[in-house]
Amino acid sequence: MPRVTRGNKKLLRRKKILALAKGFFGYKRKNYRTAKEAVERALLYSYRDRRAKKRDFRTLWNVRINSAVREYGLSYSRFINALKKADIKLNRKVLSNLAACEPETFGLLVQKVKALV
C-alpha cells in the first residue's frame, strides 16, 4: 500500500494557522504546535467576547441614562417606565447618546416624560 505524503494540504493548513498567529509573541507566532494552541484559545475568546461586548455596552448605556436622569430628579427605572407609558420608542443606545452629546435635547425629553407621569 503506498503511503500518503500530504505535501500541499499539510503545508496550507500550517500556513493558515501561522497566519492567524501573526502578531503573537515569541514561539506562539513561530512554532506550529504552540501557535495552534494560542490561535484556538484566541478564537474561543473572540467568540465569547463578541457576545460579552453587547452586554457591556448595554450596561454602559444604562449607567449613562441613569446619571443623566438623576439630575432631573428621576431614577432610571421610573424614567424607562414613563417612556413606555408615553409611547416614546427610543432605544437605550439613542437615549445614552442624547444624554452624553446633547444634554439640552435630553432635558426636554425628560421634562416631557415627567409631565405625563
Lowest mean pLDDT among 1-10, 25-34, 39-48, 60-69: 1-10
Alpha-carbon distance 100 to 56, whole Å? Answer: 17
Summarize pLDDT for 60-117 with one digit per residue, the tens.
999 999 999 999 999 999 999 999 999 999 999 999 999 999 999 999 999 999 888 7
Confidence of residue 40 (pLDDT cuts 50, 70, 90): very high
- Domain locations in the chain as residue ranges: 7-116
Please give the backbone phi and psi of residue 110, each rounded to the nearest 5 degrees, phi first.
-65, -40
| Residue 67, CB-side half-sphere exposure with 13 Å CA sphere | 10
Residue 7 has pLDDT above 90, yes or no: no
Q: What is the CATH number of domain 7-116?
A: 1.10.1900.20
pLDDT one-digit tens code per residue, 54-75:
999 999 999 999 999 999 999 9
For 31-75, give the DSSP string. Answer: -HHHHHHHHHHHHHHHHHHHHHHHHHHHHHHHHHHHHHHHTTT--
The model's pTM is 0.75
Q: Given this model, what pLDDT does residue 2 score?
A: 81
